[in-house]
A and B are shown apart, each in its own frame.
Chain A
Amino acid sequence: MSVIPETSGSAYVGGHDSAPATQRQSLQRLLDSFLLIVVLVVIWQLVYWKSEVAITGPIETVKTAIELLGSETFWRHALASGRAFGLSLLMSSIGGVAVGLALGAHRFSGAVAAPILTALYTIPKVTLYPLVLLIFGLGISAKVAFGVMHGIIPVVIFTMDAVRNINPVLIKTARVLKLSPSETAYRILIPAVMPEIVTGLRVGFSLTLLGVIIGEMFASQQGLGFMIINGMNVHNVRSLTAVVLLLVFFAVVSGSVLLALERRLQR
């Protein structure tokens, strides 16, 4: 029994065709992405005309974003976020893969844990924020804890499922070839579960980022989350919109890179 159908909904696997693209196809893809971005920008502009008090237009926002990229304050905040994000990502990846491997290898524990994990995945973790603050206090540890809370569970679930769904023939083959346990792990198990783990890590990446940013919105005087909530509180719409744009840009670029990596592994 697999828990994939319960949880992989937020794991976007993408289209099927992974045949190497010809030059013309990749040109067309570039054009399509460009058109989509144009459409999104047009919608943005329309929304801006409808409510000029709450958002800045695309051109002005890009200008502000470029200004921000040249300012020292922004980099101080970005660095604070980056540090918290890096730490959380490291903890949720390593911890998630380790726990997932263990639960996957031990079938009974996996079966016991699966619905509990799904439940943990779906509870609104924002409401637990006061608890995290009371335990960790204000500052970077609370941010990291919040990031890990969001990010670790999808990594665990994907890793566990990958191990549970390994083709038994592979393991039998390893036994027939009399591979040692470490060789089995290194040559058979890890390559077999890698694509799924990368999917888990990609989902973990997104949610860890979300967790850290939300964490900064409540519990910090530093970081991009703080810049956002501060922009909302003092009604600094220009900086608010620009920070969100930069955040989206970062998320989409890293998402695409991880997606490309995943497809290469699945081939």
Chain B
Amino acid sequence: MNQVTLVRLCVIAGSVLAVEALCRFGVINRLTLLPPSEMAAYLVHLLVSGEINQAIVQTFSNVAIAFVLSVVFGFVLGAVIHAMPRLRRACDPFLASYYSVPIFVFYPLFVSLFGLNRWPLIMIGFLFAITAMVIATLNGLDRVPPVLVKFARVHRMSRSAEILRVVLPAAGPYLFTGVKLALAYSFIGVLAGEFILSGGGLGYAIAYAYDAFDNRTMYALMLFVLIVVTAINSALFIWEQRLLRRRGKV
């Protein structure tokens, strides 16, 4: 383990301990925040008792569907927009300001389009995530060095071989970024939708616990979401670093 990682772990552990101490010594009111150790203990209790299993399955399956759809369609849409410069220029301002629109205000619309089932939530996650993938695809395709494409032409590679062996590997790191962001945004979209509007899933469970002044459940669930999202992100980060190292870029 190198020094940077060590210091980083110390910083994280130190902040958690500081919060713990502030809570234990009563500087932070128990009504505001529970000590992290209690959150963790109660989370273990919730997980063992199986009370939140259904919510977990529901949220994660929605996130998974939204994520896969957004990566596939985002990539295709990005490639199409990239191939048409005029369309692209017209799309610029919309892509640039997309993330200031709170997508979940369209939840009622999706309910009326898709019915009262899981699809409205999936659509929110999907629409939140797809733009990140489109943007990453555009960035990636922009950065494919022209010399590589020329090289493929010189070797008379077929169009499909050119895409598979030259364009995709060259754009790879940026596409990976898109995949990571699409995952994060799928989570954000689905959880936000559940939190504000729906009647099930982890986001709803947090909102419900908040309304019922059930701080223990609320903080345990918040901790759970943070741990899961951070763990997935770290795993992807490590994988990405490994890929980059193999390409000799780090």
Q: How far is the CB of B20 from chain A (nearest CB, A)?
A: 16
B160 interface contact, C-beta 8 A: no
Q: How far is the CB of B73 from chain A (nearest CB, A)?
A: 16
Contact A112 B7 (CB under 8 A): yes
Contacting B at CB under 8 A, from A3-42, are 5-16, 28-29, 32-33, 35-36
A97 interface contact, C-beta 8 A: no
B91 interface contact, C-beta 8 A: yes
Q: Give chain B's interface residue range (CB within 8 Å of chain A).
A: 35 or more
A118 interface contact, C-beta 8 A: yes
B86 interface contact, C-beta 8 A: yes
- Who on chain A is nearest to B88 by CB? A15
A256 interface contact, C-beta 8 A: yes
A172 interface contact, C-beta 8 A: no
A90 interface contact, C-beta 8 A: no
Contact B96 A255 (CB under 8 A): yes
Q: Give chain A's interface residue range (CB within 8 Å of chain B).
A: 35 or more
Q: Produce 1/0 per residue, B196-237, CB < 8 A to A.
A: 110000110011001000000010011001100110011001
Q: How far is the CB of B17 from chain A (nearest CB, A)?
A: 16
Which B residues lie within 8 Å of A130 (CB)? 206-207, 210, 218, 222
Residue among B97, B101, B180, B191 making CB contact with A6, cutoff 8 Å: B180
B92 interface contact, C-beta 8 A: yes
Contact A124 B187 (CB under 8 A): yes
Contact A124 B225 (CB under 8 A): yes
Using a CB–CB distance below 8 Å, which chain A residues touch chain B?
Answer: 1, 5-16, 28-29, 32-33, 35-36, 47, 50-51, 53-55, 108, 111-113, 115-116, 118-119, 121-131, 133-135, 202-203, 205-207, 209-210, 213-214, 217-218, 225, 228-229, 232, 237, 240, 244, 247-248, 251-252, 254-256, 258-259
Can you identify 23 A-B contacts, CB atoms within 8 angstroms?
A5-B240, A8-B139, A9-B178, A10-B135, A11-B135, A12-B138, A28-B86, A32-B89, A51-B112, A53-B112, A54-B108, A54-B109, A54-B111, A122-B229, A130-B207, A131-B32, A133-B210, A232-B197, A247-B100, A254-B97, A256-B92, A258-B96, A259-B92
A-B pairs with lowest CB-CB distance, top 3: A255-B97, A122-B184, A51-B112
